[in-house]
């Protein structure tokens, strides 16, 4: 517990919730399917990554409005202080920011039956702050939901939740520079926007990822539209067939190839990347933040930082529906501490929940704190949580 005189390690938590309305932009034609979207299945059950026992209930809810700032917990004496300042119970939490496996296992098999080979039990490691994290001004709320979904129907084109951008499967895999969309072998892949194909074929001769034959067969398209004065590249990896050639112009929706499992894939799926500024493996951003929004869904853009702005890498965060809080609905993961993982230039996120069904939720941190947030259809919700433990940072 923090006494009033122990100012040296006061735990500080600041949550900011900002919901941006009407920020959807659309320059590509034909919207996604208007059909109703089935609820996303709950993610894999928690892997014992954290033990949020004694999760505080009634953690700060000082305002009925989802807009604006929530008061820092330090001022909320009597409601949440105890939960924010107690000794953390995080010693058994495995983290993923050490590259744990020498085996290239870049992509998950899409089915639970295809258990990753050579699973390594995560080594318990205390949570440690990562590098200083960018803090852009998010007040503009500019988004870039430009990309048409490459697999149809669009409503089914939702990325695997366990291995999102910037994560490593809690230490089992390489840092992920893209997002994976499970699909059957041979499923047509559609261009995500208008542009020019700049790479088409295998990567046996040239390195486009971490090493040769990483993507097996790939396509890289340079979009006609730039972002903040820089070119935008969209990469499709692991194709079974490439149906375009370098230099070819394509329009959004054109079939450019077929889903496969070439390269280091562990099963048929599309590996999607967005690269900004240069066509390089180190220039990626979270591609799920670039896809056109689906009806009834929105995006949570999150930051989990120390009070002085360092990231908390490799952390599992549990999302519960506000009306069914006994069950974990979705697990999110903060980005690992890898300099080749890039937050969005305007949002500075270190975790993201794309394609979130509209609704009211609670986000649970490893420190047992629950923070409410809302997802609006077509909206982008911003959530920043700052927390220190013990002697950090």
Rounded least distance, CB 122 to Zn ion, Å: 20
Rounded least distance, CB 61 to Zn ion, Å: 38
> Does position 203 bind Zn ion by CB under 5 A?
no
Length of the chain: 393
d(Cα 305, Cα 350) in Å, to the nearest integer? 9
Letters for 15-44 (x = contact with Zn ion by CB under 5 A, - = none) are ------------------------------
Rounded least distance, CB 382 to Zn ion, Å: 26
Letters for 141-180 (x = contact with Zn ion by CB under 5 A, - = none) are -------------------------------------x-x
Do 120 and 172 touch, CB atoms closer than 8 A? yes
Rounded least distance, CB 181 to Zn ion, Å: 9
Residue (175 or 334) nearer to Zn ion, CB = 175
d(Cα 21, Cα 39) in Å, to the nearest integer? 22
d(Cα 49, Cα 86) in Å, to the nearest integer? 19
Rounded least distance, CB 83 to Zn ion, Å: 37
Residue (174 or 304) nearer to Zn ion, CB = 174
Residue (178 or 357) nearer to Zn ion, CB = 178
d(Cα 171, Cα 191) in Å, to the nearest integer? 32
Residue (60 or 283) nearer to Zn ion, CB = 283
| Binder of Zn ion out of 50, 107, 158, 354 (CB under 5 A) | 107
Contacts (Cβ under 8 Å, ≥6 apart) of 209: 106, 177, 203, 215, 237, 263, 281
**Nearest residue to 286 via CA among 348, 202, 369:** 348
**Nearest residue to 351 via CA among 276, 296, 294, 289:** 289
Rounded least distance, CB 242 to Zn ion, Å: 17
Rounded least distance, CB 106 to Zn ion, Å: 6
| Binder of Zn ion out of 144, 271, 303, 387 (CB under 5 A) | 271
> Does position 288 bind Zn ion by CB under 5 A?
no
Letters for 294-313 (x = contact with Zn ion by CB under 5 A, - = none) are --------------------
Residues β-bridged to residue 373: 361
The DSSP code sequence of 101-148 is -SS---S--SSTTSPPTT--PPPB------SB------TT------BP
> Does position 261 bind Zn ion by CB under 5 A?
no
Residue (167 or 370) nearer to Zn ion, CB = 167
Residue (107 or 336) nearer to Zn ion, CB = 107
Where does residue 50 fall: left (phi above 0), alpha (psi -120 to 50 degrees), or beta otherwise? beta
Rounded least distance, CB 178 to Zn ion, Å: 5
Q: How many CB atoms lie within 10 A of CB 88?
A: 18
Total residues interacting with Zn ion, rule: CB under 5 A: 4
What residue is closest to Zn ion based on CB?
271
Do 98 and 171 touch, CB atoms closer than 8 A? yes
Sheet holding 14-20, edge to edge: 14-20, 380-386, 297-305, 351-357
Contacting positions for Zn ion (CB under 5 A): 107, 178, 180, 271
């Amino acid at each position: 517990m923090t006494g009033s005189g122990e100012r040296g390690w006061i735990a500080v938590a600041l949550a900011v919730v900002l919901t941006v309305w009407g920020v959807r932009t659309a320059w590509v034609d034909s919207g996604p399917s208007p059909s109703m979207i089935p609820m996303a299945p709950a993610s894999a059950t928690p892997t014992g990554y954290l033990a949020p026992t004694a999760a505080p209930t009634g953690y700060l809810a000082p305002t009925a409005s989802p807009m604006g700032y929530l008061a820092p917990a330090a001022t909320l004496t009597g409601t949440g202080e105890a939960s924010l300042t107690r000794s953390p119970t995080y010693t058994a939490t495995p983290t993923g920011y050490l590259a744990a496996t020498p085996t290239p296992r870049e992509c998950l098999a899409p089915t639970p039956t295809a258990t990753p080979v050579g699973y390594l039990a995560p080594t318990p490691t205390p949570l440690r702050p990562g590098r200083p994290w960018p803090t852009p001004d998010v007040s503009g709320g500019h988004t870039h939901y430009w990309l048409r979904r490459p697999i149809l129907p669009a409503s089914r084109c939702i990325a695997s939740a366990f291995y999102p951008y910037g994560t490593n499967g809690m230490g089992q895999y390489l840092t992920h520079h893209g997002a994976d969309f499970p699909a059957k072998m041979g499923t047509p892949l559609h261009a995500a926007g208008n542009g020019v194909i700049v790479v088409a074929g295998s990567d046996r001769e040239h390195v486009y990822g971490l090493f040769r034959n990483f993507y097996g067969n790939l396509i890289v398209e340079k979009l006609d539209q730039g972002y903040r004065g820089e070119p935008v590249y969209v990469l499709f990896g692991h194709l079974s067939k490439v149906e375009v050639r370098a230099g070819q112009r394509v329009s959004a929706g054109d079939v450019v190839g077929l889903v496969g499992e070439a390269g280091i894939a562990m099963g048929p799926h599309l590996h999607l990347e967005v690269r900004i500024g240069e066509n390089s493996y180190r220039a990626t951003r979270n591609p799920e933040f670039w896809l056109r929004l689906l009806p009834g869904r929105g995006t949570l853009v999150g930051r989990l930082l120390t009070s002085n702005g360092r990231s908390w890498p490799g952390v599992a965060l549990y999302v519960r529906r506000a009306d069914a809080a006994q069950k974990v609905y979705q697990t999110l993961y903060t980005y690992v501490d890898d300099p080749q993982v890039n937050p969005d230039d305007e949002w500075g996120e270190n975790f993201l929940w794309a394609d979130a069904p509209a609704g009211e939720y609670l986000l649970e941190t490893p420190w047992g704190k629950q923070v409410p947030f809302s997802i609006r259809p077509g909206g982008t919700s911003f959530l920043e949580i700052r927390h220190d433990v013990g002697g950090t940072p």
